[in-house]
Amino acid sequence: MAIFMARGYKDPFHRHVSQSLGNCFSEQRREELQSAVRAHSEDGQMDFDSDRLLNLLEKETVTAWGAKEKDFDLFRQISPGDSFLMRTGKPAIVQYVQQIDYTLGGEAPRDLRAELSETIWGSDDYEYLWFSETPITEIELRQEEFESIIREAYEDFNFDDWFPSQSTNATRIDEEVLADLGGERTFLDRLEEYNGEDLQPGASHHFLFYEAHDAAGLTDDHFFEFKQTAVEHWSEVQDAENDGRAAVLDDEGCILGVGRVGNIEGELRDGSRYKKVNLIDWQPVSADSVTELLRDLGISSPQPLIDQSRPHLDPITLLPEDKFEAILKRVSEEQSTDLHTYWELTKTKREIADEFLEERTREELEHLLDPSHFFSQQRRMYQSDLDQIFDSNSASEIAETIETAIENDAPGQVTEVNGFGWAKATELLAAVEPDTYSILNERSETAMSVLGYEAPDSSTASPEEYQNFVEDVEEAVSGFGLRETAEDICTHELPDWATDLEVADFVFNAHYKGEYDLEEETTECPVTTEEAPYYWVNQKNNPAEIEEEYLRAPADENPNHDIGKLGTGDIVFNHVSGDIIGYSEVTESPQIETVDGEEYCHAEVSLTRFNDPLRLADVFSYLIHDDIQTETYYPLYDEGINQGYLFNLSQAAGEYLLEEAGVKSFETHPALDHHQKNSNVSVWRFSVTASDWLTILRRGAMHLWDANRDDGRFREQWRETSPGDLVLFHLKEEEDKVGDGVTVSDYGIFGVGIVDKKDTKSDRWWYDEDEALKYPYLIRFDEMYVTSDVEELDLETPVFALEDDEIISEFEPLIAGLLQWSDVSELAEESMGRDIPLQSGSYANLTATLNGVESFTSSVIQRLAPHLSEVSPPESFPGMLPLSEDEPDDAKKLANQLERNGQLVLYGPPGTGKTYTATRFARWWIHQQNNRPSDQRFQTVTFHPSYSYEDFMEGLTANATDENLVEYEYEDGTFKEVVKQARNGYLEAADRDSAPRYVLLIDEINRGNLSQIFGEAITQLEMDKRLDQDESVTVRWAHTGDPIDLPPNLYIIGTMNTADQSIAQVDAALRRRFAFVGCPPDYSVFVDEYEFDSETAIGSLANDVITSGREGVDAAEDHYPLLALSIRALKAINENILSSRDLNKGKQIGHSYLLDIKSTDDLVAAWQFDILPLLEEYYFGDFDRLRREVFEINVETSSETVIDSNLFELNEHKIADLEVDDLETTLGQFVDSHEFNEQ
């Protein structure tokens, strides 16, 4: 036996457990849970002891606890017989002990566990459940006392040792600790000495809770909250914990519902202490006011609560049991009002609906929606619903919507009106057009389900589903004789004006209220075995069935008599005395019929005879193959044919018989066809996690790691992959990229892809590429087929842009229909004589390593084929914006200017890192909002003299049509595309003040004709004139005339090379709308780049080189002496440029020319091919001026200097070919002679 402990106060696990402590289920709730278990048992899905669970649910003391996915590691340690302790409350008290009697986890279907969780807690989040019939024991053991007991075995124990973080909800108590304390049983006995008392379900206390009180209220999850100081009877309420019943009244004296009092929680809010009573087994009620009854019973009416700001009434009234029962009796009587009232209300509703469409006033609509006759309107929500409806629509607009919906036969239009769902919309439409529209609500869903129809959910139905629902209701009216049923139910004759759809709703209403059981109407045959793609029937002794075209078998539990599983359109092959004479198509659902006092299942069919019957002997050898047979109820065995009536056939068997008979041919799946026609292709297995597969399906390509991983093995496999190769999609069980310890509920092969080509990428697509490019190698698919529920996958949104819970929510549709790994292993054993190894890594060439892969692959695709659908990824998809790891210099200054102006320009001489700075800042700034932003949020464009408005904004483009004509269309330019993306991001943001930032970098902005390129959009560049701003203005694009709405979350950064143009020459209108930030040469960059101690250290090293030569100085790298000399020379040149008569600061030489230098050869190249040519350009090839003004040479002297001879070939007027030694000598002489302006 193990002992576990849960801790906490108000943490999610504690809240869930504390609710569980009060959930000794009512008889009704236990029956609901049992029904769910039995339903799944009938479906044959049980791999666990369902009888034991059903037995437990018979017990009045049964309770349930549960764990979410994140607590799976805890759950899998739990076994029946273990015990759980619970610490709760303030002050902290170890308060509850309970033995676990039954656990329910992965061995049970997930949908069953979800249904049980939803029934118990109102949420399907609890995936792992444990049940106990052993009562919960309540103890009173303060935490300090508990710690002192544990310290007897665990010195210096502190409670937090077991719960080191908020995410640790529960722990298993160490077995050695328990052993030192005398063992588990002794330890538990010792705890129970602290006033241990078993909790028993009961209802000894009865209350009225007034929901309208200003110090109280009812929450959506049925907790009654109240301020403790406002309740006179607080002690009685406290005594009723897990032992009471309560009815909740609204401000009109109407009962909202009834529930049992469960656990009670407390919290401090706004300086006051509040309590929350958990109302378990909540039963909502719809009944008229009981105010008069309360007065007759001597109970204060809640009516004064409406008119007084400080009501004198206590929000909780303690009642004797007889008065409480009297209230419930009155409610029950109102719920069962004479059904004749239904028709009076229906007629009234019709008349009011006509008046509303004629008058179109708010008063008429309010009258129509009044809960006294409008079934879909809850009384307690009436006023708030009206406020919601009229907040967005006028009565006239709603009337017009109703008329348009009826005219266009588009009822879904009414559901789009604020405050209307399908229930309210269809009830309103049914009042206007009662012979066209049927009411879709909870009662019709329930009744249609009983009649065997699959009614849509009224909260999520689509227009197509509603149309099918109406057709089903019309079919049910005739098929089940609902008009006759209604006449039997009604105490009066049915009105002659009642339509079939109104009659159906009347019957549904009676069934929902329990006044008539529609189960009696169902004549459909029971289903006792699993369905199959095709069927086989032996008819040697039943010639009448063939002649009259029907199937019939006794309505018993014999699986070979299970006619009930046949559906309309199913195909059944007719076998008679060794011949398959044809096939029958089921035309009507099987029904129960009585023949000579015995019940039979009867199905009408349409028989199609084969031109030539198929002899069983001719097809037997194919049909008897193991992979062709069904697992159960197959008509053949090795020795011949099974005796019986109805049998199952597989998809492959049915299609084979139809092809052999010449009735129809079946196309093989494209992937299988490709495999069979291309024997030279390789078959690969790719094994990755669910989140990776979600990205692969969106991208149409799979990823391989970089060359540094696994000694470059993945790169070699990438090279070996060829177009046309097949890849089997293997989904791993463990998910290691999102969530915490997440596993998928099933794993195996779920798809196949045909390789198109190999590729590489520099973009970041995968979820874990936020910090580095991990997967540069791609294998792109020409075709991808998966068993997944593709419609439930959001293939338009990159995975990296989703939250973890959104990604995890796609796991279930991803794995839908997959071939479990156990089945894959079985196919491998059958076709290859061995299992598929998974130890060979994520990507493995099965063709190169296994024999028999062709047969195995065909078997896998055949098994997948019925469930495969093709995935077509979007044509273009954004990547992730790379992260700038450190905050760039001047980041706050740049951010402030952008937020203030919306635009800025970084200007400066060539080589000062303007583009680098802008890019690095933009990435960093965008990442401040989001860890994984799309690369669409930062885009770059370069201006040049021929760049135009049509390139940037919008223009006409010519396209050739199929008829070889020229067609002109408008095409969005770069800026307009960015505007659209930013605008969408702005409008979709929950908080527009923090909408995602979009940044457009315009490199070389001054090289374009700015006024012509920006055109009319220049007005909206100002932040206060953008979308939703105070001074917002509307201008239109020049060609399309569409309005321009620049959103405030769009920012522009330009870079400007001042060697080409000064700021003064920029258009004044544009200059006023941009902030200008200078980027001069920055010599401090060299200190960080090359790890010099300081700029002074650079100067000292340069002086040492001048004195001793570069070979005579000690430096960190061989090229550092010449580098230091170059840095000092660059500074000297810039100082001379600044003092030049014709040049200015915009013509300086930037520091970036001396960055990323790895050798002396790099330095020579930087001077010869970058720095000196730029100077030559500044001086228009005038070497005399260049030598005089930049290198301080007296050109009037006749002798040629060292600088002249080493840097220039003056006779030829060109820059000389430089050597390292010459460069060192030249720069040394220049630096040594220059008088630096040191600051």
Burial of residue 1183, with CB atoms counted within 10 A of its CB: 0-12 exposed, 13-18 middle, 19 or more buried: buried
Residue 445 is inside which H or E element, if any?
helix 442-450
Give phi and psi for 869, each to the nearest 5: -135, 150
Q: What is the pLDDT of residue 95?
A: 80
* Nearest CA-CA partner of 905 in 733, 1051, 717, 1055: 1055
Q: What is the pLDDT of residue 307?
A: 37
CA distances for 404 relative to 398, 431, 464, angstroms: 10, 15, 18
Q: How confident is the model at residue 430 (pLDDT cuts 50, 70, 90)?
A: very high
CA distances for 22 relative to 16, 280, 1068, angstroms: 10, 8, 75
CB count in 10 Å sphere of residue 808: 18
Burial of residue 1134, with CB atoms counted within 10 A of its CB: 0-12 exposed, 13-18 middle, 19 or more buried: buried
554-598 pLDDT, tens digit each: 988 889 999 989 988 899 999 999 999 999 999 988 888 878 778
Distance separating alpha carbons of residues 548 and 258, to the nearest angstrom: 57
Six-digit token pair at 1106?
């001048």
Distance separating alpha carbons of residues 799 and 695, to the nearest angstrom: 6
Kindly tell me if the per-residue pLDDT of 380 is higher than 70. Answer: no
DSSP string, 1119-1152: THHHHHHHHHHHHHHHHHHHT-SS--GGGPPPGG
DSSP 880: B
Decide which of 1146 and 292 is more confident. 1146
Q: What is the pLDDT of residue 10?
A: 43
Give phi and psi for 879, each to the nearest 5: -105, -170
844-867 pLDDT, tens digit each: 899 888 888 888 898 899 888 878
Kindly tell me if the per-residue pLDDT of 646 is higher than 90. Answer: yes
Distance separating alpha carbons of residues 1124 and 1140, to the nearest angstrom: 25
161-176 pLDDT, tens digit each: 777 665 667 788 888 8
962-1002 pLDDT, tens digit each: 777 777 788 888 999 999 999 988 988 888 888 999 999 99
Distance separating alpha carbons of residues 733 and 449, to the nearest angstrom: 36
For residue 999, how far is the Cα from the chain centroid?
A: 27
Show the DSSP H helices in 865-890 as ranges: none
Distance separating alpha carbons of residues 473 and 538, to the nearest angstrom: 36
* Nearest CA-CA partner of 1074 in 977, 1006, 1120: 1006
968: left (phi over 0), alpha (psi -120 to 50) or beta: beta
Q: What is the pLDDT of residue 181?
A: 87
* Nearest CA-CA partner of 436 in 465, 476, 471: 471
Q: What is the pLDDT of residue 202?
A: 64
Q: What is the pLDDT of residue 521?
A: 57
Distance separating alpha carbons of residues 898 and 999, to the nearest angstrom: 10
The model's pTM: 0.47
758-798 pLDDT, tens digit each: 888 878 887 777 777 888 888 999 999 999 999 899 888 88
Kindly tell me if the per-residue pLDDT of 134 is higher than 60. Answer: yes
Mean pLDDT of 903-909: 93
Mean pLDDT of the chain: 83
DSSP string, 1008-1037: S-HHHHHGGGGGGGSGGGSTTSTT---EE-
Question: Any bridge partners for residue 780, and if so which?
Answer: 701, 757
Lowest mean pLDDT among 24-33, 145-154, 850-859, 978-987: 24-33
Lowest mean pLDDT among 214-223, 330-339, 723-732, 1223-1232: 330-339
| Contacts of 857 by beta carbon, 8 Å cutoff, 6+ apart | 675, 683, 726, 728, 846
Look-up of token digits 């970098």: 1001
- State the first-to-last Cα distance of the chain, in angstroms, to the nearest integer: 79
For residue 1095, how far is the Cα from the chain centroid?
A: 54
Residue 933, preceding bond cis, omega within 30 degrees?
Answer: no
The letter for the amino acid at 603 is A
State whether residue 859 is helix, strand or coil.
helix
Distance separating alpha carbons of residues 634 and 533, to the nearest angstrom: 12
Q: Which long-range contacts link 445-450 to residues 24+ away (Cβ below 8 Å)?
A: 446/508, 446/511, 446/512, 447/507, 447/508, 447/511, 447/512, 447/518, 448/472, 448/473, 448/476, 448/508, 450/511, 450/518, 450/519, 450/522
